Structure 1
Amino acid sequence: MEPQEDAFDFLFKIILIGDSNVGKTCLVQSFRTGLFSERQQNTIGVDFTVRTLDIEGRRVKMQVWDTAGQERFRTITQSYYRSAHGAMIAYDISRRDTFSSVERWVHELQQFGAANVLTALIGNKRDLEAEREVRFEEACGLAEAKGMLAAVETSARDAWSVEEAFVMMARQLLLRNGMSVRRDDSAGAAPVLLRTNSHTVSLSAPTAATRKPCDC
């Protein structure tokens, strides 16, 4: 008998936060459809998408909440933090100011989120290597200092490591829920270098690419 389309074994809520125009909406769209739109309107308040992943025979529904980065929406977005199982804090590798804001987003998540929320640091727009202002080693150091699951670099434009970042989060949430998940060091290209709960996801390093910026 075929499973119902909406059937699932686990439901995880993931919240995506970070400054405006770092590409959060493009990341969500890439994860959902694998497509990239040159122009995206800024998110107003909060939007969400749902996609179900198959993780070693388990149907894992990922409910991804895309939040607005603008200050005027902060009160609205903060109300969604508490119920999140995982959080992705995104910055733009070509804009150091967005990386400098990560500390503030971490503090906000600690203030309004659940005590045990699983957190990853996402450096988006990896396709802008020629305009890089934040070294990946810096991101790894910050993620480790803040007790995050990992630092990952992505490109929504190229769909580069976007899938792997969300799959990594799903796998680690399954582990947290007591499910056995085999170690997989070849799941994709995301440079995930940090260790959590004795499980290391260590994937191959990317090749450099230079593209126009994402305006989302």
Structure 2
Amino acid sequence: MALDDSDVEGTELLETYDFLLKFIIIGEAGTGKSCLLHQFTQNGFKAHAQHTIGVEFSSRTIKVGEKRIKLQLWDTAGQERFRSVTRSYYRGAAGAILVYDITDRSSFVNLSRWLADAKALASPHLVTVLVGNKSDREDDREVEWSEASRWAHENDIHFIETSSLTGDNVESPFLLAVRAILLSIESGILDPEKAGSGVSYGDRALRRVNSSSRLSFGSLSGGRRRGTVRLKLKDILPGSGRGKCC
């Protein structure tokens, strides 16, 4: 169901948080974007998932150190016929989760188009995480980890593999993107008060980011798993597992 940003403004008043971040989940149809998002927001596998029609909205509030961060999550359809509709939701996104299916090479080959659209339409400081989904289906793999890692490095984005069925690493791309965005705020690169940044203050923040105190991220627990580019993740990635995936 297609939504507009104004349709969800009221929901942001129901809880307190320090920052509100807009994320888009993009990639070819059938890569498991909706399953990945459902696992992240509902902590469970979405059986018998149908292709997304237009755009679907969900949200989740997470804690990063001492900060409560609310994620406004826009799950976009991967079919070409919805492209003109979904691209309008890229506007002002602070983070993008770019998903491909490790068992479907065509979903990897088309990544450049998705990334180009996101960079052109989202926030100038967009943080993108490349996600190779269905990591549990190792026997059916068509895209090697090393190839995807190299592509991510060449395009200056982060990379990790996940399984939306088992939940393996599902939280990691979101935590990685959030942490990178918070670091940009702390360093002054990203201004939450600037229109189109994809970030806004919550009522808990009280503009503390402009004070002399620094943001406190704390430790996000867990061990490290292969599948990361650029940022050291030893303190922020949860544990890993293997299994099957949608």
Compared CA separation, residues 189 and 66, structure 1 to 2 (3 A) = farther
Amino acid of the residue matched to residue 171 of structure 1? R
Amino acid of the residue matched to residue 195 of structure 1? R
Deviates more, 1:93-102 or 1:163-172: 163-172
Q: Paired residue for 1:164? A: 172
Cα RMSD of the aligned pairs, angstroms, is: 2.1
Q: Paired residue for 1:58? A: 67
Q: Distance in 1 between matches of 2:66 and 2:239?
A: 28
Q: After the TM superposition, which parts of structure 1 deviate over 4 Å for at least 4 consecutive aligned residues?
A: 181-186, 202-207
Q: 1:193 aligns with which of 215, 220, 228?
A: 228
Q: Distance in 1 between matches of 2:227 and 2:134?
A: 16
TM-score, normalisation: structure 1: 0.87
Instruction: Report sequence identity in percent.
Output: 37
Amino acid of the residue matched to residue 55 of structure 1? V
Q: 1:72 aligns with which of 63, 78, 81?
A: 81
> What are the superposed Cα offsets for residues 166-201 of structure 1, whole Å, 9 maximum, x if unpaired?
1111111111110545585853554343225xxx22
Deviates more, 1:138-147 or 1:183-192: 183-192
Amino acid of the residue matched to residue 158 of structure 1? T
Q: Paired residue for 2:194? A: none
Q: 1:141 aligns with which of 143, 146, 150?
A: 150
Q: 1:91 aligns with which of 84, 100, 118?
A: 100
Count the aligned residue pairs. 205
1:40 has 2:75 as partner: no
**C-alpha contact 2:161 2:169 (8 A) present in aligned 1:** yes
1:105 has 2:114 as partner: yes
CA shift for structure 1 position 106 = 1.3
Q: Distance in 2 between matches of 1:204 and 1:159?
A: 10
Compared CA separation, residues 151 and 206, structure 1 to 2 (3 A) = same
SS in 2 for 1:177: helix
**C-alpha contact 1:84 1:114 (8 A) present in aligned 2:** yes
Amino acid of the residue matched to residue 187 of structure 1? G
- For the pair shown, the structure with the greater C-alpha radius of gyration is 2
Q: Distance in 2 between matches of 1:157 and 1:61?
A: 24
Q: What runs of 5+ residues in structure 1 fail to find an aligned partner?
A: none
1:174 has 2:206 as partner: no
